[in-house]
């Protein structure tokens, strides 16, 4: 993961945590971990960082519970991050739509018929909409952090299910997790030539 990608991910996670706590300040770190689909240790690390920056204050309440409050500085940061990420998503949407059209045309001309999406976030939704304009068939959606969730007419499965799926190409359909998904696919033994992405890893 390069520095720019790491920064994007960290800002996105910070916004998610600030947003969750602004709606419910009595959420535990374990509940946040479950809601956001990230490790408990990472949630702890993000919260410590947000407290250190003065975006959150913490109050202890019995028995052994904590309440997190956004400071005025924290609400300002939440607004800033929301605005910045909306700008980013507008840019990403335009780029993704154009690049996906090109990628789908290329792989279709090579004889590809069945594709799988690795990733089930906003980029995957753009990919699904763009796929409807082609003759390609989506045969599965895999994402270890979204297992069991609904994605249009599909249920999201773990990445390891690729090993029992008949497909021609895996499309990395995520922006924030593109590097992580690429490494996970390589670890599963998926051939590099079968992995396609519209973003630089």
Q: Please check the confidence at residue 136 and state whether its pLDDT lies above 80.
A: yes
Question: In CATH, what class is 95-197?
Answer: alpha beta
Q: Please check the confidence at residue 129 and state whether its pLDDT lies above 90.
A: yes
Q: What is the DSSP letter of 57?
A: E
The three-class DSSP label of residue 191 is coil
pLDDT in tens, 13-40: 888 899 888 888 888 888 888 877 788 8
The residue among 46, 194, 50, 4 whose CA lies nearest residue 112 is 194
Q: What is the pLDDT of residue 175?
A: 81
**pTM surpassing 0.75?**
no
| C-beta atoms surrounding 181 within 10 Å | 24
Place of tokens 């992405």: 197
Least confident piece of the model among 104-108, 156-160, 196-200: 196-200
Per-domain residue ranges of the chain: 3-70, 95-197
pLDDT in tens, 162-189: 999 999 999 999 887 888 899 999 999 9
Query: Which structure tokens are listed for 128?
Result: 């699904």
Please state, rounded to an integer, the average pLDDT across all residues of the chain: 88
Report the C-alpha gap between 75 and 25 in whole angstroms. 13
Question: Using 50, 70 and 90 to split pLDDT, how confident is the model at 122?
Answer: confident
The three-class DSSP label of residue 157 is strand
Q: What is the pLDDT of residue 134?
A: 94
Question: Using 50, 70 and 90 to split pLDDT, how confident is the model at 151?
Answer: very high
Burial of 120 from C-beta contacts in 10 A (0-12 / 13-18 / 19+): buried
Q: Please check the confidence at residue 4 and state whether its pLDDT lies above 80.
A: no
Instruction: Please give the radius of gyration of the chain, using alpha carbons only, rounded to the nearest integer.
Output: 19
Alpha-helix residue ranges (DSSP H) falling in 110-199: 122-131, 178-187
Query: Which structure tokens are listed for 28?
Result: 């535990």
Query: Which structure tokens are listed for 102?
Result: 């090109």
Determine whether domain 3-70 maps to CATH 1.10.10.10: yes
Residues 92-121 have a mean pLDDT of: 92
Q: Give the CA dihedral 17, 6, 147, 173, nearest 10 degrees.
A: 130
Q: Please check the confidence at residue 5 and state whether its pLDDT lies above 70.
A: no
């Amino acid at each position: 993961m390069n520095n720019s990608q790491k920064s994007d991910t960290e800002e996105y996670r910070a916004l998610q945590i600030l947003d969750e706590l602004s709606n419910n300040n009595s959420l535990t770190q374990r509940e946040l971990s479950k809601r956001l689909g990230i490790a408990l240790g990472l949630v702890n690390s993000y919260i410590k960082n947000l407290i250190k920056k003065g975006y959150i204050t913490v109050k202890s309440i019995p028995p052994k519970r904590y309440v997190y409050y956004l400071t005025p500085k924290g609400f300002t940061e939440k607004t800033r991050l929301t605005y910045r990420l909306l700008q980013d998503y507008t840019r990403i949407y335009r780029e993704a739509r154009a690049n996906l059209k090109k990628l789908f045309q290329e792989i279709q001309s090579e004889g590809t018929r069945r594709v799988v999406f690795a990733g089930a976030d906003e980029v995957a939704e753009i990919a699904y909409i763009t796929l409807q304009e082609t003759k390609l068939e989506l045969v599965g959606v895999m994402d270890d952090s979204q297992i069991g969730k609904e994605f249009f007419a599909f249920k999201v499965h773990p990445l390891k299910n690729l090993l029992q799926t008949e497909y021609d190409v895996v499309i990395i359909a995520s922006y924030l997790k593109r590097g992580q998904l690429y490494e996970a696919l390589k670890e599963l033994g998926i051939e590099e030539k079968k992995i396609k992405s519209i973003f630089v890893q």
